[in-house]
Structure 1
Amino acid sequence: MSEPRARPPDESADWFVTTHWSVVRTVGDTATTVAQEALEKLCLTYWYPLYAYVRRKGHDEHESQDLTQEFFARLLARNDFAALHPSRGRFRAFLLAAINHFLAKEWRKAGTLKRGGGQAPVSLDTTLAEQRYGAQAAIEPTPERLFDRRWAETILERAATQLRDEFTGEGRETLFRELNVFLSAPASAGDYASVATRLQMTESAVAKTVERLRRRYRDLVRREIAQTVSTPAELEEEMRYLLKVLA
């Protein structure tokens, strides 16, 4: 994905009033239903990068599933929102630090890892996760790099899904299906011509539609990242870092 243009600070600032991470971080030492739900949504969204990280740290498939579930069970049951101080920064960094602490200090105390009556706090598609991990594990040199890349890819996947849903809701599924290949890759010679023929559009119209598609995609990526940070400055820093990770 190409480097996005910076947005005016006032435009981005409005996004941070009720983002999931900002809600969790601003409740102080009082656990609230809203904050709990916000944290659950974040965990549900980004559990796979965490699972991949645990696997890459040397745990087998089943142990990694248990560890990931137990980590979320403790995180969500603790209600220790006072610990989520602004100095903890981005949700990505907080989650990585928290899982490292859990793996180093706490997981051996968990016994069978069935605290809470064996209830899974977050629904995880572990079969699909293991398939993805098997195909991706060798790409990155360290668990940390694997975690960050999976995190960045999750953001792109969610933004693309939202964009597809928008087009589907407007009855333009076919248009999205033809053009989504151009979201993050430049068009080769003749690509627009063949698409224009199939869609009964001019090449110029296809090019303009792709430009709008990419612009909306970048906006959705920014909004997705905004859910995991608390300030416009953090958003810009996180954008730059994740683009570097994906390069």
Structure 2
Amino acid sequence: MTAEQSDDVLRKRFDRFATTHWSVVLSAKQGSESQVHEALETLCQTYWYALYAYVRRSDYASHDAEELTQEFLTRLVQRDFLGSVEPQRGRFRSFLLAAMKHFLSHERERAKALKRGGGRGVLSLDFHRAEKDYRSEPVDAMTPQRLFDRRWALTILENAMTVLQERYAASGKSDLFVKLQPCLTQASDSPSYRVIANELSLSEGAVKVAVHRLKRDYRRLLKQQVSQTLENPDDVEDELRDLFAAIHSQT
């Protein structure tokens, strides 16, 4: 498969996100059907853990957080919740968190509805895994919003890494990706270029070039992922700075 064919495959896969996440929300508010419904489900499947972590850190027990998160996402997918919250165009991250805050502000009414109907979960979500992940989160001094921003940022990074890995695999370069990936994080235990060169039977110069390309492509994919969550593409760099700050914040 050529690089052009690989890009086409990946482009089709991520067409589910539409042009931007905002376009999905606005299309949903305007009444589009099947494609928007699928796109909303994709967004929920992508970002739901950040919302769950926010609810848990807001002093809700795991069972309550599970029901509230599922109900919120169900209403979002079915679009009846979108009509009650007017998005402040800008960052999709901010809109989704504001929508969840709005939802939780009516938690008593939600709780009554859940007891009557038992929840209308339409998404298959692994809450058992989510709770396990939540218990591994940073210390409780981190506020709910800080935790939400951190998990959102990590999701963006993971999405970009997944696309990058699939791109290398589609080009028949899975082994190269596995060897070079530690160089992206620049961890203290990352192998040297000489070690990687020996393992891949390449020169150190060739490895340096390959790492440079990997970092360039990863940065480009990060920008693409972030731009999908913004109304104004000019805000990408500011959003990236905020996301990296959220990852390193501990309070």
What band does the TM-score fall into relative to the shorter chain?
0.7 to 0.9
Regions of 4+ moved over 3 Å: 25-29, 78-86, 106-110, 114-119, 186-190
Note if contact 1:48-1:150 (Cα within 8 Å) is conserved in structure 2.
yes
Which residue in the other structure is 1:199 paired with?
Answer: 200
Matches within 5 A, 1:17-56: 18-27=18-27, 29-33=29-33, 34-56=35-57
Point out the more displaced range, 223-232 or 76-85. 76-85
Q: Distance in 2 between matches of 1:208 and 1:146?
A: 36
Q: TM-score, normalised by structure 1?
A: 0.83
**Counterpart residue type for residue 162 of structure 1:** V
Q: TM-score, normalised by structure 2?
A: 0.81
Instruction: Give the match for residue 113 of structure 1.
Output: 114
What amino acid sits opposite 2:94 in the alignment? A
CA contact (8 A) 1:43 1:72 kept: yes
In the alignment, which residue of structure 1 is the partner of 2:8?
none
Gaps of 5+ in 1: 1-14
Identity between Structure 1 and Structure 2 (%): 42
1-structure distance, mates of 2:101, 2:21: 20
Q: 1:140/1:186 Cα in 2 relative to 1: closer, same or farther (>3 Å)?
A: same
Residue ranges of structure 2 left out of the alignment (5+ in a row): 1-14
Considering Cα pairs closer than 8 Å and 6+ residues apart, tell me whether 1 or 2 has the greater RCO. 1
Equivalent-residue separation in structure 1 for 2:212 and 2:125 (angstroms): 36
- Do the aligned residues in 2 keep the contact of 1:23 with 1:35 (CA within 8 Å)? no
- The 1-side partners of 2:62 and 2:190 are apart by 44
Q: CA RMSD in A?
A: 2.7
Q: Which amino acid aligns with 1:31?
A: G
Alignment partners' CA distance in 2, 1:43 and 1:64 = 15
* Alignment of 1:147 onto 2:148: yes
Change (3 A) 1:84 1:63: closer
Per the alignment, in what secondary structure is the counterpart of residue 136 of structure 2?
helix
Q: Which residue of structure 1 aligns with residue 179 of structure 2?
A: 178
